[in-house]
Structure 1
Amino acid sequence: MTTSKKIFFFGEDHLTAGLALGLARGTIQGQISEKARKKIRASYEVVAHIVDQGQPVYGINTGFGPLCTIKISKAETKILQTNILQSHSVGVGTPIETEIAKLMLILKVHSLAQGYSGIAETTLDRIIWHIDNDAIPIVPSQGSVGASGDLAPLSHLFLPLIGLGKVRYIRKLISTAQLHRIYGLEPLELGPKEGLALINGTQFIAAHAVMVIDKMHASLTHADIIGAMMIEGLQGSVKPFFKELHELRPFKGNSHVATRIRFLLEDSEIMQDHIDCERVQDPYSLRCIPQVHGASRNAWLHLKELLEIELNSVTDNPIIINEELTISGGNFHGQPLAMALDYACLAASELGNISDRRIYLALEGNSTGVPKLLMKDTGINSGYMILQYTTAALASENKGLCFPASADSIPTSLGQEDHVSMGSISGRKALQVLENVEKILAIELLTAAQAFEFRKPMKSGVLLDEVHKEVRKKVAFAHKDRVFSEDIEKGIDMIKDRSIILTVQKTMKRNKLKMNCPYELEFEEY
């Protein structure tokens, strides 16, 4: 028995990062209701009236940017819109991931369907056709300065509407002309303002931010789980995670992380074994997990809140309010997300930074029962020594990527656009950093699992014991040196497919366990 998909109404329903990903991954169906279509038609008719009246309105019957004083005749307004897509398709570099390009289509439809952009129903229907049929345009990754919209990437995104450009269809790269032949489609003739409405907007930045929200959320959760396993392996203290401490400095992220670590360590024989040991306090990479992971979690929450506003905003230009009022403003400027993405980039980097420090700590051999380099027979074997070289390299690379792109601005458009956000670079860099963090966390997972093994036959709580079993399904305990890159690849796969998180979730459900953190919903839903 098949169940119908959840329906999302473009231009009406409230969009979140999670819903956008559901639309992109085909678990949610996007539609435009008749109510929204009436608003779309009304806005389109306002633009047609402006053209008929001949009154100068930017981008409808004038040139673009520094050419805004040049009047365009009624006969040439349609040519103007086609030309803008072609002239602004100047992107370079490796194409963005297909899922990000699909997200751009989804976000643009939701913005345009609100009825303030003068777009035609037929144009929106064609974009939705591309979404529904997974015919996703090829979009170069470089060329946007993140103000006046993501002009170059959005131009490439919508070239297929006029029969140009390329698409990825059934996992193959084909020309739009080939796609049109397969389906018997014809290129669209864009009406006045349509080209400008399509390429003005922050959808390149916002689509990257959606992916950052998703990847960073998983990295934060992995960091907590793996950090807890490392505490077990090195027999760290649970006291730094007591709620009494965090009530005295009640940052949401800190409290959430402390609650989760306590939850993961609950009923652990390993923790009970050293409850009266003489060690006074642990190094910061263990003791300050709530403060560091928590700060990164707060940054994630900040980005999530700003992104949700952006996803439900109208970001093209000019905005058609009604027949009497069109506004040439700056809603396309990417600064709100650019700065938040730079903050998230730094926050993600710090997850990798402290993870590398825990890996180094595990290799020192200062924890009773855990040998130096996590292997008993060293000398002839190097143990886990060189894995930390890789995390050091990745953590250092991330530090170099943390310079805020939004701190820079280079004037464009002959000075008309004299301050730009560089938010497209912020988004791309944040994803680069997160890719590196996933690799660092994968190596810490292997390292923590190796240290954890030396605590046997003692058991941890049910959650971390199940996580350890999941790791051992893929990667065996290392008694001697081997090609560790193969282990690392398996570790990266576990991080990327989120099998560790799923193991915790399934174990919680099976054992009817609940974490009970007051901020859980804020941090677990997006």
Structure 2
Amino acid sequence: MIVTVQPTGISAADVLAVARGDARVELSPATVEAMAASRAIVDDIESSGRPVYGVSTGFGALANTSIAPQRRAELQHALIRSHAAGIGAPMPREVVRAMMLLRVRSLAMGRSGVRPVLAQGLVDLLNHEITPWVPEHGSLGASGDLAPLAHCAIVLLGEGWVLGKDGARMSAAEALHGAGLRPLDLAAKEGLALINGTDGMLGMLLLAIEDAAHLFAMADVTAALAIEAMLGSERPFLPELHSIRPHPGQAASAANIHRLLQDSAIMDSHRDDLAHAVQDAYSMRCAPQVAGAARDTLEFVSLVSSRELVSVVDNPVVLTDGRVESTGNFHGAPLGFAADYLAIAAAEVGAIAERRVDRLLDVTRSRNLPPFLSPDAGVNSGLMIAQYTAAGIVAENRRLASPASVDSLPTSGMQEDHVSMGWAATKKLRTVLDNLTSLLAVELLAGVRGLQLRSPLAPSPAGRAAVAAVEPFAGTPGPDLFLAPVLEQARAVVAGRALRGEIEAAVGPLS
């Protein structure tokens, strides 16, 4: 696959294809033309001697410092070196690739005043699978992701570090030489254009959106398994009950769960039982209200990211009429708010899943399932400690759901006196979603154990698919197992697409 970068922007699918699918990248002729026209304006300004931020002046609190013409190229190189000041473990490869492609997108819009060779340099890194070493700490989401983007930009200069094939750090000069690439020399404005913008935040948010969409569908699957195993009712998920509270996400989640519970001998066994509870617990009955609200949150976040994909986030920007104007478009508040909102929603999807796990394991509430889903409880502890693990993860997600975007620390001599913390918000969102994967894995295992223990009653088609996916590595209820590898494999089932595909083949597409 080839992703062609146009001056009108790229799509979220393009970012995912490059970040996760290693698609190749190319610049369209229109992109090269737009960048060249923008650069001509900067060249005219530089020759005129007019003071313009980032072209003939210093940066941040040094914006009023005039830079002599013969030192302006030096200024751009010094900017990259000084701003590549991150520290900590390297960011994942997919995040860095997304960030680089989004910086290409920003330059390609023809408002940054840089030569096409600059965007082509980043394209060459992507196509040669050279991934800069970007430390996790350094961005405040203020003038965008300054430090992370500088760690990408310094590789273009033949300096800094890249991720080696084995994950170890190697010199950028060595990586460029091995790929037959030459370092770039920057011209006026180009260093600033490489690092000013929201590309790291947006890249992480786009990756998180794809993950969240899948996990929210899987949350409906694991909820249905738990409800079926606990002899719950499917009646709270009838469409007419959700049409009277018309939140689209709620209706979609309820429709999923209702469909997943059909054609089940387990459900049939108690449907007309007068002893059956009139109302199930909230963690069962209100699953669509929580997961559905999360889906609606995701829809809002997707809208924010789609706007950002067609936004000019550089500073200063070069307008087509020849003006160069300072902006605040690099500020990450829209992305920080969105990431914090989605983290809250995802944390609650995991929290309600853990409550269903606890109910499945409690002999007083599970409707005649054995304690901790062990047929020989006492000698064996079953899934007791798996629920402890889930509870600990829920507690961590609650801490991570505390918004980063309300925390601002002034920098740059009070020039940057309000920052977004959008990098922190999107980074912790990814952790929340990884934790949600683990929580759904515990519920998947517990739900399957419950269905197995209802034998000889046959579960729903969705339940049968889940049992078939889990049983090869988890076995059937019996003596205790070494649970850690079982949970790791359950995580892989939740994160993967195979089980969802089997279920959809049986019951139809899930929303």
Same fold (TM over 0.5): yes
Which residue among 184, 201, 207 is the counterpart of 2:203? 207
Shift of residue 235, structure 1, vs aligned partner: 1.1
Which residue identity does 1:133 align to in structure 2? H
Structure 1 runs of 4+ off > 4 angstroms?
A: none
Q: Which one-letter code corresponds to 2:113 in the other structure?
A: G
The residue identity in structure 2 corresponding to 1:131 is: L
Q: Please state whether the residue corresponding to 1:406 is helix, strand or coil.
A: coil
Deviation at 1:8, TM superposition (A): 3.1
Aligned match of 2:326:
328
- Give how far 1:317 is off: 0.4
Q: Is the deviation greater in 378-387 or in 298-307? A: 378-387
Kindly tell me: are residues 400 and 40 of structure 1, through their superposed partners in 2, closer, same or farther at Cα, counting changes over 3 Å? Answer: same
Aligned to 1:293: 291
SS in 1 for 2:4: strand
**Alignment partner for residue 256 of structure 1, among 252, 257, 264?**
252
Following TM superposition, by how much is the alpha carbon of 1:55 offset from its aligned partner in structure 2, in angstroms? 0.5
Task: For 1:359, give the aligned amino acid.
Answer: V
**CA-to-partner distance for each residue in 1:396-441, whole Å, 9 max, x for gaps?**
1111111111011111110111111011110111111111111111
Aligned partners of 1:241 and 1:258 also within 8 Å: yes
What residue identity is the alignment partner of 2:438? K
Question: For residues 382-397 of structure 1, what are the structure 2 equivalents within 5 Å?
Answer: 382-397=381-396
CA displacement 1:184-232 (0-9 Å, x = unmatched): 4321111111100110001111111112112212221111101111111
Q: Does residue 226 in structure 1 map to residue 225 in structure 2? A: no
Residue of structure 2 equivalent to 1:497:
496
- The answer to whether structure 1 residue 198 and structure 2 residue 188 are counterparts is no
In the alignment, the residues of structure 2 paired with residue 362 and residue 146 of structure 1 have an alpha-carbon distance, to the nearest angstrom, of: 43
**Counterpart of 1:524?**
none
Q: Would the alpha carbon gap of residues 271 and 288 (structure 1) be closer, same or farther in structure 2, given more than 3 Å must change?
A: same
Shift, 1:312, TM fit:
2.1
How far 1:459 sits from its partner (Å)?
2.1
- 1:449 positional shift: 0.4
Distance across 2 between alignment mates of 1:322 and 1:62: 22
Aligned residue for 1:344?
Answer: 342
Among 267, 270, 287, the alignment partner of 2:266 is 270
SS at match of 1:158: helix
Cα–Cα, structure 1 residues 72 and 483, in superposed 2: closer, same or farther, change >3 Å? same
Q: State the Cα distance separating 1:163 from its structure 2 match.
A: 0.9
Q: State whether residues 109 and 127 of structure 1, in contact with CA within 8 Å, keep that contact through their aligned partners in structure 2.
A: yes
Instruction: Give me the TM-score of the superposition, normalised by structure 1.
Output: 0.93
Aligned to 2:37: 42
Deviation at 1:27? 6.1
Within 5 Å, which residues of 2 pair with 1:371-382?
A: 371-382=370-381
The residue number in structure 2 matching 1:488 is 487
- Between stretches 81-90 and 364-373, larger displacement belongs to 364-373
What CA distance in whole angstroms lies between the structure 2 residues aligned with 1:181 and 1:33? Answer: 26
Q: Secondary structure at the match of 2:131?
A: strand
Asked if 1 retains the 8 angstrom alpha-carbon contact of 2:453 and 2:477, the reply is no
Retained in 2: the 8 A contact 1:342–1:402? yes
Q: Distance in 1 between matches of 2:194 and 2:503?
A: 43
Distance 1:274 1:315, change over 3 A: same
Q: Check whether the contact 2:24–2:126 (CA below 8 A) recurs between aligned residues.
A: no
Partner Cα distance (2:198, 2:488) in 1 = 35
> What 5-or-longer segments of structure 2 have no aligned partner?
none
**Cα separation, partners in 2 of 1:95 and 1:7, compared to 1, 3 Å:** closer
Displacement of 1:33 in angstroms is 1.3
Kindly provide the amino acid, as one letter, of the partner of residue 163 in structure 1. Answer: G
One-letter amino acid matched to 2:316: P
8 Å contact 2:9–2:309 — kept in the other structure? no
Cα distance between partner residues in 1 of 2:326 and 2:93: 32
Once the two structures are TM-superposed, the CA of residue 28 in structure 1 deviates from its matched residue by 4.1
What is the TM-score normalised by the length of structure 2? 0.96
Output aligned runs, 1:110-125, within 5 Å: 110-125=105-120
CA distance in 1, matches of 2:469, 2:442: 15
Q: Deviations over 1:465-501 (max 9, x none)?
A: 1122111122212312222222112212222333322
AA of the residue aligned to 1:403: S
Q: Which residue of structure 1 lines up, in the alignment, with residue 405 of structure 2?
A: 406
Matched, 1:303 2:298: no
Which deviates the most, 499-508 or 415-424?
499-508
The answer for the alignment partner of 1:437 in structure 2 is: 436
Q: CA deviation at 1:504?
A: 2.1
Distance 2:144 2:284 in 1: 43
Superposed CA RMSD: 1.6
Unaligned runs of at least 5 residues, structure 1: 521-526
Q: CA deviation at 1:13?
A: 5.0
Distance in 2, matches of 1:478 and 1:455, equals 11
Contact kept in structure 1, 2:39 and 2:113, CA below 8 Å: yes
Q: How many residues align?
A: 507
Q: Distance in 2 between matches of 1:470 and 1:507?
A: 14
* Counterpart check, 1:183 vs 2:179: yes
Give the conservation status (yes or no) of the 8 Å contact 2:132–2:155.
yes
Asked if 2 retains the 8 angstrom alpha-carbon contact of 1:222 and 1:500, the reply is no
